[in-house]
Structure 1
Amino acid sequence: MKVLISADMEGISGIVHPSETNPGGYDYERGRARMTAEVNAAVAGVLEAVPAAEVLVADAHASFRNLLPEELDRRARLVRGQPRPLGMLAGLDDDTDAVLFVGYHARAGGGPGVLAHTIGAGILDVRLDGRSTGEIGLNAALAGFHGAPVVLITGDDAACAELRELVPAALNVAVKRALGQAATVALHPDEARDQVHRAAAKAVRRHDQVPLVTLTGPLKVEVDLYGPYTVDLAVLVPGVTRAPGARTVAFTAADVAEAYRLVQLLAQLALITPG
């Protein structure tokens, strides 16, 4: 059995402020240690249920260099750094049997959600055939495209509800309850890890009972960008056009994989500032 754990940071128990998720910020080092420990709980749960499982962990936050490699469970392999194919789901392929989302956050506008946003600071919203979709929805659809169900999500209650709407059969662990963008009622980290461990074991045991998220192409994709300069860059990409509204671009993708790649590219363009 092959399992991919995609690990974000905003949904880790106790984390509430951007400084805790950005290198050099107040408590970032403690945040990445807690992130690593919560991921280890998921790894341990997977391997408790299926001792022979192949487990890959994709560091999926910001620069994709947050997990502490020397502290990660040595039975897992770490996917680290960027740019890379499949972004937050790097390591996914057609042989993957199950995907777990650990430390995930809700999309922008889906709150109240702790540190809710949609694919970095540069993208305000992504709509697939008119439906607003955040990182949870995009990643679940890409996993489904490769034949892998998302069997577990951990994060705040808003993130859990977002996946539950898409995949009611998936398990969820709300390690904190959102009071707002930067406020929460959180489980003790040890309790959070215990719950993640138990849920990960249960989730992989029943992976064949969880349906795939499937989106049939072609897909009409609209992306609301934060900066007008990014719109100017985006329309240089073949197939991307300026849509009504100063911040919106649109394109048609043949399938989810193509849509995902182009959205990744737009997120990188959003990091460029005028020269």
Structure 2
Amino acid sequence: MKVLISVDMEGIAGIVHPSETGPDRHDYARGRAAMTAEANAAIAGVLDARPDAEVRVADAHGTFRNLVPEDLDRRARLVRGRPRALGMLAGLDGSVDAVMLVGYHARAGAGPAVLAHTMSDAVLDVRVDGRPMGEIGLNTAMAGHLGVPVVLLSGDDAACAELRALVPDAVTVPVKEALGQGAAVTLHPQEARELLREAAAQAVARPVPVPPLTLTGPVRLEVDLAVPYMVDLAMLVPGVGRTGDGGRTVAFTAVDYAEAYRLVLLLVQLSSIKPA
């Protein structure tokens, strides 16, 4: 069995503020240690149930260089750094049997939800065939495009609800109850890790497989961007057009979901370019 564990940071137990998630912030060292510990809990759970499993861990937060390599369970292989194909799902291909999303957060505009956003602060909303999707939905559908189910998610209660709405059979581990964008009632980190280890084992040992989320093409993609100059940059991409009032929203019809997913990743990168 092959399992990919994609690990973000905002949904880790105890984390509620950007000072804990950014490399230039004073609490970041504690945040990345907690992120690594939850990754290890998920790895251990998979290997408790499937000792012969091949486990890859994709560092999926910010710079993709947050997990502490020397502290990660040595039985797993780490996917680290950027840029890379498939972004938060780097290491995914059709040979993978299951994906787990650890430390994930709800989409932009959700609430109450801890540190909710979609890919970057430049993206206000993403709609796929009219349905709002954040990182949870976008990544779950990308895995599904390759025939791979998302079998587990950990994060706050809003993130867990977001996955259950898409994949009702997935295992979810709510490690904190969101009170707002920067506040939560959180489990003790050790308790969260114990629950995550048990849930990861359960997710890969269940006799009935979780079905992948599959979106058939063509796919209509709409992205609301934070400021108009980002729309201007997006218009340089062939096939992208303005929609609505034209000031903040771009649209694209992709031949399949994978093309739509790659465009979202590209728009996020373009949005980091500042006007001269």
The normalised TM-score by structure 1 is: 0.99
Corresponding residue for 2:272? 271
Q: CA–CA distance in 1 between the matches of 2:95 and 2:172?
A: 24
Unaligned runs of 5+ in 2: none
SS of 1:9's partner is: coil
Match of 1:4 in 2: 4
CA deviation string 1:82-109 (max 9, x = no partner): 1100010000000010000000000012
Residue 127 of structure 2 is matched in structure 1 by 127
In structure 2, what is the Cα distance between the partners aligned to 1:135 and 1:254?
21
Gaps of 5+ in 1: none
Supply the distance in 1 between the matched residues of 2:27 and 2:138 (Cα, whole angstroms): 29
| Alignment match, 1:146 | 146
SS in 2 for 1:252: strand
Shift of 1:176: 0.3
Which residue number in structure 1 is paired with residue 73 of structure 2? 73
Tell me how far 1:24 sits from its aligned partner. Answer: 1.9
Matches within 5 A, 1:64-213: 64-206=64-206, 208-213=208-213
Verify the 8 A CA contact 1:113 1:180 in the aligned structure 2. Answer: yes
Q: How far, CA to CA, are the matches of 1:208 and 1:110 in structure 2?
A: 31
2:47 corresponds to: 47
| 1:149 and 1:207 in contact (8 A); partners too | no
SS of residue in 1 equivalent to 2:140: helix
Q: CA RMSD in A?
A: 0.8
- Kindly state the Cα deviation for residue 118 of structure 1 after the two structures are TM-superposed: 1.0
**What's the secondary structure of 1:127's corresponding residue?**
strand
Aligned to 2:257: 256
Per-residue CA deviations over 1:40-81 (Å, capped at 9, x if unaligned) read 000000011101100000000011010000000000000011
Moved more, 200-209 or 62-71: 200-209
One-letter identity of the residue aligned with 2:80: R
Report the Cα distance in structure 2 between the residues aligned to 1:108 and 1:114, rounded to whole angstroms: 10
Residue identity opposite 1:173 in structure 2 = V
Paired with 1:147 and 1:220, the residues of 2 have a C-alpha distance of: 20
Q: Which amino acid aligns with 1:32?
A: R
Residue 64 of structure 2 aligns to a residue whose secondary structure is coil
Structure 1 residue 26, shift from structure 2 partner: 2.3
Q: State the SS of the aligned residue for 2:74.
A: coil
Mean CA deviation greater in 52-61 or 237-246: 237-246
Question: 1:211 offset after TM fit, Å?
Answer: 1.1
In structure 1, distance between residues paired with 2:190 and 2:87: 29
Contact 1:153–1:160 (8 Å) recurs in 2: yes
Shift, 1:207, TM fit = 7.2
